[in-house]
Structure 1
């Protein structure tokens, strides 16, 4: 497991789609928590050589949240967006879309990615800042200060990053989109469960 040296087709066809899947699995997990079904739904996974059975979805939820937080940071950095002094700035300090002859996505344009879902650019920026802070201070390694993010904000942030990559990477290069696992009924929108919980009460990750 890992990533080999840079081969453009490998990134387009395998590495980036894998991380998109992690983002969207995280969004699914967050929606399940918000709907209140995470503790009442049995979990079964057939791995071929063995089966994993649990009384609820806790094991899947935990794995999906961690994977989503890490993938979110990886892909935002790939698009040229970096956390810097509690703000998001353009930076090409890691391997990024410029390797595919694409420009770094301007911060302002990136933060408008869920405008059609009625989330403002300021909301998306704040959610990304929180998600990136959690990735740096709570997931990549342990810190004494730690960091948290609400379930709704994390799910929306991961979905926004997925949309960002799909639009400014795959669409921009006229490449086929990896299949999305987000169905219309759970797509984050401000006038749905996501927005209601985000604006009132939410569980912390």
Structure 2
């Protein structure tokens, strides 16, 4: 089983709810999907052509357009030519079925992140809403990457996690070293809900 995002795991872990309708949730999910797809292409080609191609499409998500403009804005706050300095990791966390009480073979959780080539101590995680529970979310992330297999692990020098909020462009940085790690038992309890 593959979750559609790390946030989906957070929803299960923290019992996040939303007052959006089912249609609104789907529109938002498609916008996040489009944003991730375009971002992968931008980094694969190392230029903004896929971004501008998306902007010029007849059928596009206005929410995704906003997200993409905001990530570009946040990246360009640090560097004039951000693609020369950032590296995108389309990482996944895999939980083997032996940890689960269900009959699932495995659970895969997408965990994409960005690294600044000039700052190995920081990773950047994209969020699509204001972070209200950042320390606890980082504790869960730390538990997932510590207890289970991550195909593209964080740098051993990594000390800080920065959330880039793509809804309203802003960033929040947390000292990863000072965050407690969520327990394996609590993570497995949530995994078994899926």
State TM-score, norm by structure 1. Answer: 0.28
State TM-score, norm by structure 2. Answer: 0.29
